[in-house]
Amino acid sequence: MNYGKIAAGLIASAGLVAGAAQAEDLTVWTLNYSSEAQVAALDAAEARFEETHPGVNVDIVKRGTDEHKTALRVAAGSDTGPDVYFMWAGLGLGGEYVKAGLSRDLTDYYAKYGWKDRVSTPSLAFVEAFGPGMNGAPYRFTGEAIYYNKGLYEKAGITEEPKTYDELVAAAKKLKEAGIPAFTFGGTVNWHVMRLMDVLLETTCGVETHDALTGMEADWSTTPCAADAFKELKMWSTDYILAPFMGIDNRQSTNLFLTNRAAMMLEGDWQVNVIKEGAKLEDFAVYPFPTGTDRLYGFAEYLYISTKSKNPDLAAEFLDMFSSTEFQDQIKGAFGALSVNKSVELGDDVPELYKTWKDIFANAKGTFVNGDQAFPLDVTTEYFRIINEVASGNMEPQAAADAMQAFISKRS
């Protein structure tokens, strides 16, 4: 055996490896989506970027919602972590990372690539909200509304989509009389049932009070509409949600919805693809929860560049590619009805559901976000607990409001 040759070979390959390590890696952390179209869109992003940037290896890591939150938080305290990470843009989630110094200021990149002119105005809402400079580039802007099963509505004799809250309650009653559970939710993932609470709060409290409550500026125990909202939550949970729901998760709940076990679901515009892949789109329709305030229940999701990234310029290019007209055009409809890119529009040959969504977005005057994005982590955990207690019938509405305020007051 010629050891000389082997040694030379080893050294050469070591050089190759070192050389290959020079080829850059870009890590992106995001969610694992239920719909194949969404997963495919992420894979397309990876492929496209690698194509246009030879020598770059993009690794898109997909995790479940709660896992992603934990992983990112853990990475934040260490030197490991992604270059780009996905986060919901509100205070309690994305905002917290900005405040902790994990999000890189993107002002230069915004100027360089002109993202501000490219993306839709509502999606920019949180970019400058939390820290100096600009943080995050819009990735998705979504809305949540009521999907319903047309056949089941017909069966219960509901002929029109409810336009007011009272009409919605009346519709639920009709469904119940027909032996159909009105809603289905998955209790184990906390944030699913929370959605119902959020829209109920908006309904009973109106815009300003709702914002004051979620901003923890108003007192939950002395603001009557808070207890009212809990009261409504209790009513819905006791009478109108497909039981048992506390022990199942949102995916199982979707399964049940698609197999006609319940009439409605409070879900986001991303659900259209899920329905498409699991059932027949024509059987379903959507309308906004009649809160009476004209605000869209929705939120923005951003891609942030980590301050620990060693390749910020490369990361910025990835962000640029993602929101670019070409790419958004390529994946349009995968993530939702609305692209963050202003100039990408769904054509007319799209499902009816998407057309409705377009209208919903167009008609909305302002947004209110999900509770778990408004509150900091510990308050969110307690909020979940209280909501679940009320929903299981173990806590009275006023006690719930009191407990919420007690927890908030005790925070130092």
Candidate list 58, 93, 134, 256; residue touching another protein; CB under 8 A: 256
- Considering only residues 21 through 50, tell me which ones interact with another protein, judged by CB under 8 A: 32
Count, residues near another protein per rule CB under 8 A: 48
What's the gap between Cα 108 and its chain centre? Answer: 27
The answer to whether residue 60 forms part of the interface with another protein (CB under 8 A) is no
Residue placing its CB nearer to another protein in the complex, 79 or 349: 79
- Considering only residues 114 through 143, tell me which ones interact with another protein, judged by CB under 8 A: none
Comparing CA positions, the residue from 156, 162, 74, 128 lying closest to residue 300 is 128
The answer to whether residue 294 forms part of the interface with another protein (CB under 8 A) is no
Residue placing its CB nearer to another protein in the complex, 75 or 319: 75
- Considering only residues 174 through 233, tell me which ones interact with another protein, judged by CB under 8 A: 187-188, 190
Sequence-ordered strand ranges (E) for 57-166: 57-63, 84-88, 137-149
The answer to whether residue 248 forms part of the interface with another protein (CB under 8 A) is yes
The answer to whether residue 254 forms part of the interface with another protein (CB under 8 A) is yes
Residue placing its CB nearer to another protein in the complex, 293 or 373: 373
**In the complex, minimum distance from the CB of residue 91 to another protein, in angstroms, rounded to a whole number:** 15
Please confirm whether the linkage preceding 54 is cis (ω < 30° from 0): no
Vertex 397 angle, CA 286 and 386, to 5°: 75
Q: For residue 27, give the H/E element and its range.
A: strand 25-31
Candidate list 245, 284, 357, 375; residue touching another protein; CB under 8 A: 245
Residue placing its CB nearer to another protein in the complex, 58 or 124: 58
- Considering only residues 316 through 345, tell me which ones interact with another protein, judged by CB under 8 A: none
Q: Give the whole-angstrom CA distance, residue 278 versus residue 255.
A: 8
- Dmax over CA atoms of the chain, in Å, equals 87
- If one counts every other C-beta atom within 10 angstroms of the C-beta of residue 383, the result is 25
| Alpha helix stretches (DSSP H) within 324-376 | 325-330, 352-363, 371-374
Residue placing its CB nearer to another protein in the complex, 251 or 276: 251
Q: C-alpha distances in angstroms, 11 versus 1, 6, 50, 68, 348? A: 17, 9, 28, 39, 60
Instruction: Tell me which residues touch another protein (CB under 8 A).
Output: 32, 61, 63-64, 66-67, 70-71, 73-80, 100-102, 187-188, 190, 243-249, 251-252, 254-256, 377-378, 381-382, 384-386, 388-389, 392, 394, 403, 407, 410
